[in-house]
Amino acid sequence: MIAVIEKAKDGHIARFERHFMHSVEDVWSWLTENKKLTKWFSELSVEDLREGGMIKFDMQDGTFEEMAIIELKTNSILEYTWGEDSVRFELYQEPEGCRLVFIEKIKVITPHTPKDLAGWHVCLDVINALIDGKKIDSRQDEWKKWYEKYKAVIESL
């Protein structure tokens, strides 16, 4: 399901929802434990898991971008800076597992925005597959498909 993108006071909000047949604690571990995190987003690593702590993005050129953790509530909320924007994971317990809400707060729409949105879309699908013990054969093919959809959505804003 494609993200809902809405105008906000300071830009736009992209909101993704996923339902997992797994506990909040299990899904949380995929967001915060480096051995699991790198399976769905190899460039990310948690350096200091606390409010005010840091997540690092490996730029693949020998440099790293440091992203500050804005809000952290164990098994519930993880929000950190993402360039000029921010990303937020929220987990909610449900009778059959949990619901993950992912929010990207976008200050300025750029030509790169649909690429990021497609990337996050695929990342969430990959988490879902991995947690179920499956895999997505071609992340690039999935990304291309979603990129075209997000490009159309962004162009219509």
Give tens-digit pLDDT for 13-43.
999 999 999 999 999 999 999 999 999 999 9
- pLDDT-flagged residues of the chain (< 70): none
pLDDT of residue 37: 97
d(CA 119, CA 124): 9
- Sheet of strand 44-48, all strands in order from the earlier edge strand to the far edge: 4-8, 11-20, 97-106, 85-94, 77-82, 64-73, 54-58, 44-48
d(CA 64, CA 124): 23
Whose tokens are 């047949």? That residue is 21
Closest of 67, 70, 105 to residue 85, by C-alpha:
105
Answer whether 0.85 is exceeded by the pTM.
Answer: yes
